[in-house]
Chain A
Amino acid sequence: MVIIEVTNLEKTYVNDGVETHALRGVSFSVNSGEFIAIMGPSGSGKSTLLHILGFLDPHTGGEYKFDGKSITDYSKQEIAKVRNKKMGFIFQAFNLLARTTVLENVKLPLLYSDVPESKWNELALQAIESVGLSHRINHESSQLSGGEKQRVAIARALVNNPQVIFADEPTGNLDSKSGQVVMDIIQRLSEEQGRTVILITHETYTAEHAERIITMRDGQIESDKTVGQRHHAREQFIK
């Protein structure tokens, strides 16, 4: 079942009359439950694409259908709902709330959901446990290491049980050890929980954890291949 479908997607930024064509006709589709890696050189439009797919920025041309419905047909309320319930976004820059504890950060999406308040703690604690941070619940976000921050961001993306997870270079700022931990979590989201995962990375090795690799160049898709020999973060761990 196709969950994401883009046709001729374009994004043009206009700053002070200067146009930047970040996406120039991108077409592909993603099946529910697929694990896709997006690769490509810096400036090729990966983040731009992911933001549009994640309902965080509007596109300027072409069409984007999520769940069979064109994004232009979603009302503001529906867009907020989709962001809240169906998507989890992991930013490269973490984007945690400053001066706020791990627990409160992870609870944030629940605040805007229709999950009853009585369940918030339980759900947040579960999500925090799944990223192995139970011992850091009451730390403020500024007191965490980069790897820990990224795991809080993942827990926050997971807490509302979303169908699709978007991750923009989640291991980009991490050492290889913390990177492995994060990749293990993401891979399990896909394999054990059947979520759709779209991940940006510029490391081929990391990309090969996915089932399929889309490579971008200059705002267009250069190649779209299935991964023959997948890596499994779990196995790397055991070694």
Chain B
Amino acid sequence: MILKHSFKTAVIGLKSHKSRSALTILGIVIGITAIILVMAVGRGAENLILDQIRGLGSRTIIIEPGREPQGPSSFAEFFTDSLKQKDVDTLLKPTNVQGIKELTPEVILVTTVSYGNESIRTNVIGSSYLMAKILDIYPDKGTYFTDEDIRQKASVVVIGSKIKEKLFGDSDAVGEKIKVKDRLYRVIGTLPQKGQVSLFNADDMVVLPYTTVQQYITGTNYFNSIIVQAESEEIVSRVVKEIKLTLRESHNIDDPEKDDFHITTQADAVERVKMITGILTILLVSVAAISLLVGGVGIMNIMLVSVTERTREIGLRKSLGATEKDIMQQFLFEAIILTAIGGVIGILLGAFFSFLTSLILSQIVSLGWAFSFPISAVLLGLGVSGFVGLVFGLYPARQASIKSPIEALRYE
């Protein structure tokens, strides 16, 4: 029998068993939709986090006090006071570290800011203009503070979009004075909406000169971190090495095990996030695999239930002159057609639901959430349901086609 007729026979067979075909397709659709949805969400989450980290720029190096946190017990080391103005000055000497383009210390705390009757708790960041550069966020109204403001410990503040919204509503903020922890500061700039950048929510923060924060708000002389921007991406690892040597020397540390600071680069962070999202993806995929399995069991059930009827049909066809090859071709086409229809519907539904989910998540979680469509999920879904269809459709067909026609016709 020529292929065209095998194909036609398969189509006629599927059409004359509409509910069986529909249920099989449904099983395939469920499996593929589920796996695409789950993998799309996983991928979206990974991309979002990676984007945020990359948002810091690949040339960024972060120096933090204390040893790298190894677990809950060493968490306290986070809050040590080992990084001070002296370190900033030392690092800025080109004879110590070569290739630093810019550098800013940072002081971070959470406190209340208020204007009139409105008040809000938010992140207060003491920093320099470099902060704006690294986060890639510049005032849409007013200006940022200058190095001169830092030297003068000026009482000026730049506020994020959410703070501006909350304290001032639609009216102008620039020029007004807001209170940050009991003292008044003049708003010199407001930032546009930006969302999450790495660990910072750029909308929910106020930025002041770090000297001002140390002087009037925290009353301390140490920093929460020092952020360094290297001149180029290629020299990052050398700069890191030189920073380590310089700080050890100025802190009188001989044993690297006893470092009172640690350094993170974007590359490290990307590595760590990839590992975490990798584990998450495996988890999500296992969940999706279960739905694939459910779909597969559905297909299997329908196939097995119809084996009796199909076995008789195969016996009849053979008694009329069909060869084993004719029979297998017919059933192969049936499986291919079902998988193809189910696959296309599943891919469309999967894409649709992933898109919908990404829309919802971009509202709830972060504007940075992007729709991503994982081809590997499509292949996996098609592969598994195709495999199930083939095994449970073709295996009984094969069993029936090697029987004598009478044996097959007699099958119960």
Q: Which residues of A contact B (CB under 8 A)?
A: 51, 54, 56-58, 76-77, 80-81, 83-85, 89, 91, 95, 97-100, 104, 108-109, 111-113, 117, 156, 160
The answer to whether A84 touches B321 (Cβ under 8 A) is yes
Given A56-B405, A83-B321: A111 and B313 within 8 A (CB)?
no
The answer to whether B409 touches A95 (Cβ under 8 A) is yes
CB distance from A100 to the nearest CB of B (A): 6
B318 beta carbon closer than 8 Å to chain A = yes
- Which of A80, A81, A99 is the most central at the interface, judged by chain B CB atoms within 10 Å of its CB? A80
Type the 1/0 row for B318-338, where 1 means its CB is closer than 8 Å to any CB of A.
111111101000000000000
The answer to whether B323 touches A77 (Cβ under 8 A) is yes
The answer to whether A108 touches B320 (Cβ under 8 A) is yes
**7 smallest beta-carbon distances between A and B, as pairs:** A84-B321, A99-B16, A112-B321, A57-B406, A80-B323, A109-B320, A56-B405
> Could you say which residues of chain B place their CB within 8 Å of the CB of A58?
404
B76 beta carbon closer than 8 Å to chain A = no
Which among A56, A76, A98 is the interface contact of B323 at CB below 8 angstroms? A76
The answer to whether A83 touches B319 (Cβ under 8 A) is yes
Which among A54, A56, A57, A111 is the interface contact of B5 at CB below 8 angstroms? A111
B407 beta carbon closer than 8 Å to chain A = yes
> Could you say which residues of chain B place their CB within 8 Å of the CB of A98?
16, 309
| Whole-angstrom CA separation of A111 from B313 in the bound complex | 14
CB distance from A83 to the nearest CB of B (A): 5
The answer to whether A56 touches B321 (Cβ under 8 A) is no
Given A95-B409, A111-B1: A56 and B17 within 8 A (CB)?
no
Closest to B405 in A: A56
A/B pair count, beta carbons within 8 Å: 62
| Whole-angstrom CA separation of A122 from B121 in the bound complex | 88
> Could you say which residues of chain A place their CB within 8 Å of the CB of B405?
56-57, 83
B269 beta carbon closer than 8 Å to chain A = no
CB distance from B327 to the nearest CB of A (A): 10
Which among B16, B17, B316 is the interface contact of A95 at CB below 8 angstroms? B316
CB distance from B215 to the nearest CB of A (A): 88
B143 beta carbon closer than 8 Å to chain A = no
Given A57-B406, A100-B16, A104-B12: A156 and B320 within 8 A (CB)?
yes
The answer to whether A56 touches B326 (Cβ under 8 A) is no
B317 beta carbon closer than 8 Å to chain A = yes
| Whole-angstrom CA separation of A81 from B326 in the bound complex | 12
CB distance from B140 to the nearest CB of A (A): 69
Q: Which residues 1-21 of B sit at the A interface, judged by CB distance below 8 A?
A: 1, 5, 9, 12, 16-17
Q: Which residues 262-301 of B sit at the A interface, judged by CB distance below 8 A?
A: none
> Could you say which residues of chain B place their CB within 8 Å of the CB of A81?
321
Which among B16, B313, B320 is the interface contact of A83 at CB below 8 angstroms? B320
The answer to whether A56 touches B322 (Cβ under 8 A) is no
> Could you say which residues of chain B place their CB within 8 Å of the CB of A89?
319
- Which of A84, A89, A99, A111 is the most central at the interface, judged by chain B CB atoms within 10 Å of its CB? A111
| Whole-angstrom CA separation of A57 from B406 in the bound complex | 6
The answer to whether B317 touches A108 (Cβ under 8 A) is yes
The answer to whether B322 touches A80 (Cβ under 8 A) is yes
Which among B5, B321, B323, B406 is the interface contact of A85 at CB below 8 angstroms? B321
The answer to whether B406 touches A56 (Cβ under 8 A) is yes
Given A57-B404, A84-B320: A112 and B1 within 8 A (CB)?
yes
| Whole-angstrom CA separation of A67 from B385 in the bound complex | 48
The answer to whether A100 touches B12 (Cβ under 8 A) is yes
> Could you say which residues of chain B place their CB within 8 Å of the CB of A83?
318-321, 405
> Could you say which residues of chain A place their CB within 8 Å of the CB of B326?
112
> Could you say which residues of chain B place their CB within 8 Å of the CB of A80?
318, 321-323
CB distance from A60 to the nearest CB of B (A): 12
| Whole-angstrom CA separation of A98 from B310 in the bound complex | 11
Given A95-B316, A97-B316: A112 and B406 within 8 A (CB)?
no
18 residue pairs bridging A and B, Cβ less than 8 Å apart: A56-B319, A56-B404, A57-B404, A57-B405, A77-B323, A84-B320, A84-B321, A91-B409, A104-B12, A108-B316, A108-B317, A109-B320, A111-B1, A111-B9, A111-B322, A112-B1, A112-B321, A112-B326
> Could you say which residues of chain A place their CB within 8 Å of the CB of B324?
76
> Could you say which residues of chain A place their CB within 8 Å of the CB of B9?
111
Q: Which residues 397-412 of B sit at the A interface, judged by CB distance below 8 A?
A: 404-407, 409
